[in-house]
Structure 1
Amino acid sequence: MKNQYFGDNRDLFKYDLVCHLMRNITHLRCFTFIPMLTENDDKGYGKERDRSKARAGTENTELKEFLDKFYDESKRDVTRIKDYFSIKGIRMRMYKESVTLGSDNRETYFRNIEPGFLTQSLVLVDPDIGLGFNNPDKEHLTYYEARELFEKMDNSSILMIYQHFPRKIHRQCVKDWMREFSKEVVVLPLFISDNRIIFFLIAKDPGLKEKLHESLLKYKERYQKLRTDQSEF
């Protein structure tokens, strides 16, 4: 996550989905946000703010109005999302909110996540790009790190991971990700996608996984361009 991205259409989808899950899966007590914050760059990302082109979150007028306050890049600060969830009455914990992730602190960044952050929580990990393999960089979460988080969280929590689509055939991308999840994390995730980004979601408890699946399908009913099955790509 970079501050320059804050408030774009991906965030509209992301935070609206978080609100939906927190409201619909009632035993979740907290939204835990692990931002994997990195420094801004000059690549121009974060400019997708035309709400008419957004594919999810558009019915959430309050969230749109809140995020629109940060159209000016100088005002963008991901920690401000705490204000929105406070207004909505959703308990939120943000892990190392002002710490920039780098090679020098990566190991301790993940190792020091306390058990309380992973208890009865929706745990969102938000790398710049998504999942990656052996040599970790600041833009990726490795499958090993995903597995470590999954193993540390309790049976009443859900792990949610942001993933950006590369410039490849999306159906093959999803197939590859599912294969690697099965191999490296030893679990098949549920997912929801607007065909631009995708969120992977995993739960340990079968009953919780079923509630999660039902909640994702309910969200998809509101935004029918979304996809929750590989056959839809």
Structure 2
Amino acid sequence: MVQLKYYGDDRDYFKYDLISFVLKNGDFKQYGFVPMLTEHRHDNEGNIAPKSSACKSKDLLNFIATHSNRDLNNWELWLNNYISTYNSIQPINTDYFNGGNRIGYWEKYKKIISAEKSLVFFDPDTGIQAGRKSRIEPEHKEKYILNTEIGAIISKLSASSVFVIYQHLQRNSKKHEQDIKSKCDELAKIDSTLNISVYREKDLAFLFIARGVKIRGILNAYRQKSTVSPSDVYPKT
């Protein structure tokens, strides 16, 4: 989730438009939210307000405008339109993910992560590690799901469920495809039987990880209605 100050920004608009579409068109009985919220950092970054889009939900844009208070519980109000059971852990706005509580954090969410017929959304600051741990500054590890953690997380994935992991891509757009490939390769090393599909829009990607559920058709349908460039579904074949 990064920080609460980014609630309702343009990335949230994209995130929840995509998630809503998948829930609407998939066969899920539950939704699980693993926010991975980090504490406020004083930096020069600022959230960008969402703008009306020809290919994204106007109702969602209006919802964000009318629920502008920075409260992650608002997403439950929105997604209740698409799912009967919404699962997360309270207090959601102050339960921070950091280097000192990683083990305990995953333990708290294990029931949500292992749920049947569930779409489970992981919202880390940056994404999965997929590279040498030494490249990550110690103070930045809270932004990632580490390679040492992802295997244990995936081992809890039900055959009837799908994991979605937010992934911020590097700034160099020419390296986006390689960046996505490296993430998928890392996941495949953990479990070669996984069905991995990726939806990418500009410098953001969402990794969809499944065992028995087919999700690619839904992502292709979302891509077909998109007017955003560049956007794509991986693998392309």
Structures share fold, TM-score greater than 0.5: yes
How big is the shift at 1:197? 0.5
Task: Give 1:45 shift.
Answer: 3.8
- The CA deviation at 1:110 is 0.7
Structure 1 residues 88 and 190: alpha-carbon distance in aligned structure 2, compared to 1, 3 A threshold: closer
Match of 1:199 among 206, 212, 216: 206
1:108 aligns with 2:104: yes
Confirm or deny: 8 A CA contact 1:58 1:64 kept in the other structure.
Answer: no
State the alpha-carbon separation in 1 of the partners of residues 224 and 207 from structure 2: 18
Which residue of the other structure, out of 145, 169, 181, is the alignment partner of 1:175? Answer: 181
Choose from 219, 224, 227 the match for 1:221: 224
Q: Conserved in 2, the CA contact under 8 Å of 1:31 and 1:93?
A: yes
Rounded to whole Å, the distance in 2 between the matches of 1:177 and 1:89 is: 29
Q: 2:154 matched to 1:160?
A: no
Q: For the structure 1 residues 51 and 184, does the alpha-carbon distance in structure 2 shift closer, same or farther, using more than 3 Å as the test?
A: same
Q: Runs of 5+ in structure 2 lacking a partner?
A: none
Q: How does 1:40-189 map to 2 (within 5 A)?
A: 40-52=40-52, 58-69=55-66, 75-88=69-82, 90-96=84-90, 97=92, 98-119=94-115, 120-132=117-129, 133=131, 134=133, 137-168=141-172, 169-186=175-192, 187=194, 189=196
TM superposition shift of 1:117? 4.5
Partners of 2:55 and 2:48 in 1: CA distance: 14
Identity of aligned residues (%): 25
Q: Secondary structure at the match of 1:198?
A: strand
User: What TM-score do the two structures reach when normalised by structure 2?
Assistant: 0.83
TM-score (norm 1): 0.84
Distance 1:49 1:148 in 2: 36
Task: Pick closer, same or farther for the CA change 1:46–1:63 going to 2, 3 Å.
Answer: farther
Residue deviations 1:172-209, cap 9 Å, x none? 2122222222224544520001122000001111xx12
> Deviation digits for residues 102-142 of structure 1, max 9, x if unmatched?
22211111123243543211010000111115478211111
With over 3 angstroms needed to count, the CA separation of the structure-2 counterparts of 1:204 and 1:144, relative to structure 1, is farther
Q: For residues 190 and 87 of structure 1, what CA distance do their matches in structure 2 show?
A: 25
Q: After TM superposition, what 4+ stretches of structure 1 lie above 4 angstroms from structure 2?
A: 87-90
SS at match of 2:184: helix
Could you tell me whether the CA contact under 8 Å between 1:12 and 1:58 is conserved in 2? no
Q: Give the residue type in structure 1 aligned to 2:6.
A: Y
Indicate if the aligned counterparts of 1:159 and 1:201 stay in contact, CA closer than 8 A. Answer: yes
Distance 2:199 2:82 in 1: 23
What residue ranges of structure 1 are gaps of 5+ in the alignment? none
For 1:183, the aligned partner's letter is: K
Aligned residue pairs: how many? Answer: 221
Amino acid of the structure 1 residue aligned with 2:13: L
CA RMSD of aligned residues (A): 2.4
Match in the other structure for 1:38: 38
